[in-house]
Structure 1
Amino acid sequence: MIVVFILGTQFYDVLIFLPVLCENVLCESGVLLLYSPSFPFVSVQSMDVQADVVLLVDGSYSIGLQNFAKVRAFLEVLVTSFDIGPNKIQISLVQYSRDPHTEFALNTHHDINAVVKAVRSFPYRGGSTNTGKAMTYVRERIFVPGRGARDNVPRVMVLITDGKSSDSFKDAAAKLRNIDVEIFAVGVKDAVRSELEAIANPPADTHVYEVEDFDAFQRISKELTQSICLLPPQDLRFSEITSRSFRATWTAPATAVLSYLVRFRKAEDITGDYVSLIVPGDTTTSILPHLFPVTTYEVNIFSQFDKGDSFPLTGEETTLEELSSPRDLVTKDVTDTSFAVSWKAAPGNVRQYRVTWKSLFSDETGEKTTQGDTTATVLDGLTPETRYQVSVFAVYGHGEASSKTIVVSDETEKTMKVTWQPAPGNVVNYRVTYKPQPGGRQLLRSIASDPDEIHMYNVADFSFLLDIVDNLNDNLCNSVKGGVYEFGSKHSIMQKCSLFECFEILLGYRHRL
């Protein structure tokens, strides 16, 4: 009789052949294997985690009895990491080869000691590797209420295999994922990477694990436990995309999260530093500010717990081309029927500028375009003695920049209120500049005689002329004293005159008002 002692992960050449199969130990052909797992202990028992976890273990002939002992040792470390209970984490173990076999269901064991005892004692069955059939079995026979599966609790399956599947498996894996089962795949030795990635949930970085041999299980035990228990957020999506920012939104995991860590950087800058934001645990959205136009960003969202951070939920998004308006619109070279317009160029790749104008006195409107590298034009064919409102829009390759229209209201003699559309992103402040334009009080002051008190009058519109008629009539007629200057020419006028007659002379009108 020969015995193999497995101390840690090292085998010793002492074999004891037994005449009968053994209970509660690994047995094959009368060979007894004793083992003592030395994998690191990874505990998340203090976390309030609920999950239904199915361990789907390849028990085919290619594994071999000695390697199967290491699989069992790895499973023991894995289950010992969990807080087992009917209202906590439930574990089921399914071994498969040609046919799947339930070693124990989700509702079979309710404490860690019972689960560990069952893991230590389940036998090695042998056979072919029908992975697809096994996953269908898990969906139809394990994740069901009669075997302990719970509603509204995360469902996880961990597949451990060492080789290529003997049957089709993609459809079976997709159906599991479609019922919200999170699938992790552990491949050993000759396992095919492409098969593992087709079975597991994305991203492969956190859901697919490869080890070179069965002795290397300890390398992934902590990472796998972290992936299962420190649940990442889900369903990353982007909205409100501008040239300088966009919004990231995600779905919270089933477990309570202290906070979220949001990290982002340019996708092409794989060695660059991340920009990090901390988001409270009850918030599942964040604006990513201060970005560059037409740039793709890598975004990672981590759930943060007392025991550490989850693996990231990852995604990419690209900012838009910068759409903005031209600035500092200036008019000059005014004639009776035209004037020139110029402006400072808008940022980005402007295809053309669209210039529009409308009369403030009639329904007259007009429009013309210039090339994107041209920032001036002449508006002609206009109506004499007419005030116009002019707007300039930047037209980009995929759309037109919205007009940042400034609205002036609540004007008084010394103040006015100015409002505008907000710029996108996290604006620190706005700089408002202003200066007098030709005309208005400045123009009146250059024309009127001194002093202003009797020679300048401000009224809102013509309907208010009657309010100043007496004062203006007295000042006008008292100052004339037999003569008045109109455009530099002296004309005689009666000492006594009416207000409207005086306006006729002063304004050069040829009809009575």
Structure 2
Amino acid sequence: METVLCPDPVIKCPDLPCKAEQYVAPCVGRPVDLVFLLDGSERLGMDNFQHIREFVQKVADRLVLAKNKNDQMWSRLALIEFGKENELRVAFNLTHNREVVAAGITALPYLDSSSAVGAAITYSIDHILGKGRSRKTRRGAEISFVFITDGVTDSSSLDEAVSAMRREQIISTVIATGSDVDNDILNKLVMNDQEAIFKGEKLSDMLQPSLFDRFIQWVC
């Protein structure tokens, strides 16, 4: 496609991002529904919580979002924060609206709680994605769950929740920082795909171009 559309991108296609892989517009030409599940446990800390806000906003700024609610292409985002079972905060449901995303990120409180990731997965499948006539995802959309957690969580019902992700054909990614992580939980969340785990010494590392660009390429 690049050869046909941009045989000489500098001269013939100066406005198209065809010069190198890193310039390819993210998630072009296909629908991606991206759901962030944020661990709001006390282990996270307020500084890391702020870095996560910046990270999700940066992702929203980078991706090409759907043009309107009926657009069947491009990306949409959702963000929920989970604490202990039944303690959830939805910053915003699946949306293309950048103002809704920015307002939701700004207003999201830090739970500073314990966490139960299995319950958060089940809630997201039932309510963020929806079922039957209440289905909120788009036809043919790739559904991607991005977990931001150290994996230290109540793991009850986790196996059932991961099985539900498999049934829904959800692609999962984990962002974790530091050395004090529960790798067994992280591996379960990504269904044993080691390449889907992004690690840094601290969450602010995800804002650096090397990790951030790799994350964008991964989810796209």
TM-score, with structure 1 as normaliser:
0.34
| Counterpart code for 2:104 | A
1:100 aligns with 2:91: no
Separation (CA, whole Å) in 1 of partners of 2:99 and 2:25: 16
- Give the corresponding residue for 2:167: 178
Kindly indicate whether the alpha-carbon contact (under 8 Å) linking 2:57 and 2:105 is maintained by their aligned counterparts in 1: yes
After TM superposition, the structure 1 = structure 2 runs for residues 200-239 of structure 1, keeping only pairs within 5 Å, are 200-205=190-195, 207-218=196-207, 219-229=210-220
Which of 165, 168, 173 is the equivalent residue of 2:153? 165
Task: Go from structure 1 to structure 2 and tell me whether the alpha carbon gap of 1:195 and 1:124 turns closer, same or farther (over 3 Å shift).
Answer: same
Note if contact 1:186-1:196 (Cα within 8 Å) is conserved in structure 2. Answer: no
1:138 alignment partner, one of 116, 124, 127? 124
Aligned position for 1:283? none
SS in structure 2 of the partner of residue 226 of structure 1: helix
Going by fraction, where is strand more abundant, 1 or 2? Answer: 1
Tell me whether 151-160 or 116-125 shows the greater mean CA deviation.
116-125
Deviation of 1:119 after TM superposition, in Å, equals 2.0
Contact 2:31 2:142 in 1 (8 A): yes
| Contact in 2 for aligned 1:55/1:158 (Cα 8 Å) | yes
Which structure has more helix as a fraction of its residues? 2
| RMSD over aligned Cα atoms | 2.2
Residue 183 of structure 2 aligns to which amino acid in structure 1? R
Instruction: Indicate the structure whose relative CO is greater, using CA pairs within 8 Å and at least 6 residues apart.
Output: 2
* Structure 1 counterpart of 2:59: 78
- 1:12-411 superposed matches below 5 A: 44-45=25-26, 47-85=28-66, 86=69, 87=71, 88-98=74-84, 99-106=87-94, 109-144=95-130, 146=134, 148-168=136-156, 169-189=158-178, 190-205=180-195, 207-218=196-207, 219-229=210-220
1:182–1:201 CA contact under 8 A, matched in 2: no
- SS of 1:90's partner is strand
SS in 1 for 2:146: strand
- Preserved contact between residue 94 and residue 100 of structure 1 (Cα < 8 Å): yes
Change (3 A) 1:142 1:42: farther
The answer (yes or no) to whether the contact 2:92–2:100 under 8 Å persists in 1 is: no
- Are the aligned partners of 1:188 and 1:213 in contact in 2 as well (CA < 8 Å)? yes
From the CA coordinates, give the structure whose radius of gyration is larger: 1
Aligned-partner Cα distance in 2 for 1:196–1:42: 31
Whole-angstrom CA distance in 1 between matches of 2:129 and 2:161: 14
After superposition, what is the alpha-carbon deviation per residue over 1:298-350, rounded to whole angstroms, capped at 9, x for unaligned? xxxxxxxxxxxxxxxxxxxxxxxxxxxxxxxxxxxxxxxxxxxxxxxxxxxxx
C-alpha separation in 1, matches of 2:79 and 2:23: 20
> Is the alpha carbon distance of 1:127 and 1:191 closer, same or farther for their aligned partners in structure 2, counting shifts above 3 Å?
same
Contact kept in structure 2, 1:42 and 1:222, CA below 8 Å? no
Q: Which structure 2 residue ranges, 5 or more long, are not aligned? A: 1-21
- Offset at 1:42? 8.3
AA partner of residue 42 (structure 2): Y
Task: Tell me the number of residue pairs that the alignment of Structure 1 and Structure 2 aligns.
Answer: 186
In the alignment, the residues of structure 2 paired with residue 220 and residue 132 of structure 1 have an alpha-carbon distance, to the nearest angstrom, of 27
SS at match of 2:141: coil
Q: Is the 8 A contact 1:83 1:112 kept in 2?
A: no
Per-residue deviation, 1:92: 0.8
SS in 2 for 1:126: coil
Paired residue type of 1:94? I
**What residue in structure 1 maps to residue 12 of structure 2?**
none
**What is the TM-score when the length of structure 2 is the normalising length?**
0.76
Is the alpha carbon distance of 1:217 and 1:45 closer, same or farther for their aligned partners in structure 2, counting shifts above 3 Å? closer
Cα deviation per residue 1:255-275 (whole Å; 9 max; x = unaligned)?
xxxxxxxxxxxxxxxxxxxxx
Q: Report deviation, 1:118.
A: 2.3
- Structure 1, unmatched stretches of 5+, are 1-40, 230-513
